[in-house]
């Protein structure tokens, strides 16, 4: 049973600078919501509402977005704007969110290990807040079902063009089990296209088990003895996969990697076109331009 999730947000968002100098990339809007709100709603819709956000001091806007604001609510009610007051109130009761400040070596394995110390001895989901999905069944629910069926770590995957391999973790596929489920025996982080072991990209959604956390702890110990490089979740999953079952789940849905400028624009464009009020007018404008 997966009850908890971790969202690391402490990254610098360098691919979108200078836009992300003051504004955390997780707070960039897609449609009428910041990226991280889409991620949190996805988790809640998938039955996971105990969420740890691993953050840094420069990302305090994330915290403010989900914090209660009694003054704002009261003013809106006095002004007769109950709908808006309810929307503001709903944000702070969406999920049980705990914030942790990231501590430790660089790399995306560190926030996962920070959170694991608080979560304890149970499997949990990790989502990067810059991969957004439009899917009939939320990505987090698809991952959760894969874990329930296998009892092993699971990675969210999407088919990719081989020339994109150097941007992603690429799984070594051992067996195709049907229904988008693959047994994998390892992962190569950002390989050159000619060395890519498959045509799938790991896309920032993982079910992490205590065995994977043990690998992250070992990686951190090695780093403390010899502080070189970064601690990657992909490396821990790879090491775990060499001796234990690990699965990939190809996600059914449309994926927007909002950390890249073009894909961020595509996500905004798709959300604008899907807007029930303004979508039809925007569609007309897009055709005319
Ligand atoms: C991280 C992971 C990589 C994964 C990617 C998905 O890389 O290390 O394995 O494919 O997220 O978005 P980053 O994008 O942080 O460089």
Distance 281 CA to ligand 1 centre (A): 36
pLDDT at residue number 260: 80
| pLDDT category of residue 4 using cuts at 50, 70 and 90 | very high
Asked if residue 204 has its Cβ within 6 Å of ligand 1, the reply is yes
Give yes or no for residue 189 CB within 6 A of ligand 1.
Answer: yes
Q: Is 128 in the pocket of ligand 1 (CB under 6 A)?
A: yes
Which ligand 1 atom minimizes the distance to the CA of 233? 8
Ligand 1, atom nearest to 131 Cα: 12
Check residue 246 and give its pLDDT.
98
C-alpha 192 – ligand 1 centre gap (Å): 15
Assess whether pLDDT exceeds 90 at residue 200: yes
Whether pLDDT at 7 is above 90: yes
pTM over 0.75: yes
Instruction: Please confirm whether the linkage preceding 18 is cis (ω < 30° from 0).
Output: yes
- pLDDT bracket for residue 207 (50, 70, 90): very high
Percent residues over pLDDT 70 in the chain: 100
- Compute, in angstroms, the gap from residue 168 CA to the centroid of ligand 1: 5
Q: Which of 80, 91, 5 is nearest to 43 (CA)?
A: 5
Task: Round to whole Å and give the CA distance between 143 and 162.
Answer: 24
Length of the chain counted residue by residue: 289
Smallest CA separation from ligand 1 atom 11, residue? 204
CA–CA dist 277, 205 (Å, integer): 31
| Protein residue with its CA nearest to atom 10 in ligand 1 | 168
Q: Name the pLDDT band for 259 (thresholds 50, 70, 90).
A: confident
Q: What is the mean pLDDT of residues 230-236?
A: 95
pLDDT at 105: 86
Q: Return the ligand 1 atom nearest residue 187 CA.
A: 9
Average pLDDT (191-205) is: 96
Q: Would you state the pLDDT for residue 14? A: 84
Is 258's C-beta closer than 6 angstroms to any atom of ligand 1? Answer: no
Report the pLDDT value the prediction gives residue 13, as an integer from 0 to 100. Answer: 76
Structural domains in the chain, sorted by start: 4-288 (3.90.550.10)
- Provide mean pLDDT across the span 162-168: 94
Average the pLDDT over 59-72 and give the result: 96
Average pLDDT value for residue range 65-70: 96
> CB of 157 closer than 6 A to ligand 1?
no
Least confident span in 29-38, 80-89, 128-137? 128-137
Mention every residue, 6+ apart, whose C-beta is less than 8 A from residue 109.
Answer: 216, 219, 220, 230, 231, 232, 233, 235, 236
Predicted confidence at residue 111, as pLDDT, reads: 96
Residues 208-229 pLDDT 10s: 999 999 999 999 999 999 998 9
When the pLDDT of each residue in the chain is averaged and rounded to a whole number, the result is 94
């Amino acid at each position: 049973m997966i009850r908890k999730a971790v969202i690391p947000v402490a990254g610098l968002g360098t691919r979108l600078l200078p836009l992300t100098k003051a504004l955390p990339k997780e707070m960039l809007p897609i449609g009428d919501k910041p990226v991280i709100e889409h991620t949190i709603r996805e988790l809640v819709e998938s039955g996971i509402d105990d969420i740890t956000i691993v953050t840094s001091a420069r990302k305090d806007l994330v915290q403010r977005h989900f914090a209660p604001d009694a003054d704002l609510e009261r003013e809106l009610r006095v002004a007769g704007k109950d709908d808006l007051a309810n929307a503001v109130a709903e944000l702070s009761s969406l999920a049980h969110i705990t914030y942790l400040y990231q501590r430790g070596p660089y790399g995306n394995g560190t926030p996962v290990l920070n959170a694991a110390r608080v979560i304890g001895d149970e499997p949990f989901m990790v989502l990067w807040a810059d991969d957004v999905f439009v899917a009939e069944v939320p990505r987090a629910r698809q991952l959760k079902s894969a874990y329930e069926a296998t009892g092993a770590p699971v990675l969210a995957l999407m088919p990719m063009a081989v020339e994109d391999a150097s941007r992603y973790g690429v799984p070594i596929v051992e067996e195709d089990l049907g229904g988008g489920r693959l047994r994998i025996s390892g992962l190569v982080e950002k390989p050159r296209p000619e060395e890519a072991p498959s045509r799938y990209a790991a896309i920032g959604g993982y079910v992490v088990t205590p065995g994977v956390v043990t690998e992250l702890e070992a990686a951190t110990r090695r780093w403390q003895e010899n502080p070189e490089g970064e601690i990657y979740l992909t490396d821990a999953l790879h090491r775990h996969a060499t001796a234990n079952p690990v699965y990939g789940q190809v996600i059914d849905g449309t994926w927007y990697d909002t950390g890249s400028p073009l894909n961020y624009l595509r996500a905004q464009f798709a959300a604008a076109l899907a807007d029930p009020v303004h979508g039809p007018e925007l569609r007309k404008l897009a055709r005319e331009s």
